[in-house]
Amino acid sequence: MEDITNYEFTVFDEWSLYDQIIERNYMKHVEISAAVRQDLSPPSQIAEVWDLGCGCGSMAAKILSGWSVPKYTGVDVSQAGLARINTNLSSSASELCAESSEIVSFLERPVSICPSVILASFSLHHFPMDEIEKVLELIVKHMDAKSRLVWIDPVRQSHESREEFNRRFLLEISESWTSLTPEQILEVDEHITQYDFPLDPIERERLISLAGLHGQSVSYRDPFFTAEIFTRASAAE
Ligand SMILES: C[S@@+](CC[C@H](N)C(=O)[O-])C[C@H]1O[C@@H](n2cnc3c(N)ncnc32)[C@H](O)[C@@H]1O
């Protein structure tokens, strides 16, 4: 497992930078949230939402805006992110819960309810290849016939290595994320090189099938990011 103490330090260090990235819509939060929102509606079917690696809840806030779902639980190791959940999600959920926890530890806890929506937005790609299989397996254990997993992450193109993806992504960043200073670009570069493990599409399909997930809809896809909604395979058959 990744050194979470070290990870927390890195994210905390970069939090204002991530704010800037969201504000400028560099990671397509606007388009992705709009597409996912459409595929998740109507909100009457949503009782409880878990947001794994929620950060400050910005993606969830956009997806759930104004829906006032009964309960939202944001899970993260970043206190700085969790501290802003109340502000960002107060109009989106009646009950808000901020869980200061590593994702796997949270998923390993026994709970009596299955959430209607499990959101994993730009968080699962931080797990290296040898850990993501276990994370997906744990997620599926918490899903019932009505649960949906919304998985938003960078995905490699066919035959693209992790290094090739990261190089292509960093080129895009240096050309398009124009409001960032050279120092900030370097910070993003270091973060991506150290912490990002975007999946190869074939490996991703294998892991999805192994976990027992059934693709319900691809809400959004561009050359870097994919947002896909899953149910449990048995629930779809
Ligand atoms: C790129 S941010 C995404 C934040 C938000 N979900 C979004 O879409 O904007 C990734 C977040 O995942 C959290 N994270 C990454 N790995 C984690 C882990 N193993 N356990 C808990 N949180 C984790 C980080 O702390 C960070 O807040």
Closest residue CA from atom 17 of ligand 1: 53
Q: What is the pLDDT of residues 44-102, one digit of tens each?
A: 999 999 999 999 999 999 999 999 999 999 999 999 999 999 999 999 999 999 999 99
Ligand 1 pocket residue status of 197, Cβ below 6 Å: no
Ligand 1 atom with the shortest distance to the CA of 1: 19
| Distance (Å, whole) CA 115 – CA 158 | 33
Query: What is the whole-number distance in angstroms between the Cα of residue 109 and the centre of ligand 1?
Result: 19
SS3 assignment, position 62: helix
Q: Which domain holds residue 140?
A: 4-236
Residue 134: which CATH number?
A: 3.40.50.150
The pLDDT value recorded for residue 14 is: 58
Please state the domain count of the chain: 1
Ligand 1 atom with the shortest distance to the CA of 8: 25
The pLDDT value recorded for residue 55 is: 95
The pLDDT value recorded for residue 16 is: 86
Specify the DSSP class assigned to residue 156. Answer: P
Q: What is the pLDDT of residues 171-223, one digit of tens each?
A: 999 999 999 999 999 999 999 999 999 999 999 999 999 999 999 999 999 99
Residue 90, number of CB atoms within 10 A of its CB:
13
Ligand 1 pocket residue status of 55, Cβ below 6 Å: yes
Ligand 1 pocket residue status of 74, Cβ below 6 Å: no
Tracing tokens 């993260």 back to the chain, one arrives at 76
**Distances in Å between the alpha carbon of 77 and those of 60, 84, 106, 143, 187?**
17, 13, 11, 23, 20
Ligand 1 atom with the shortest distance to the CA of 7: 25
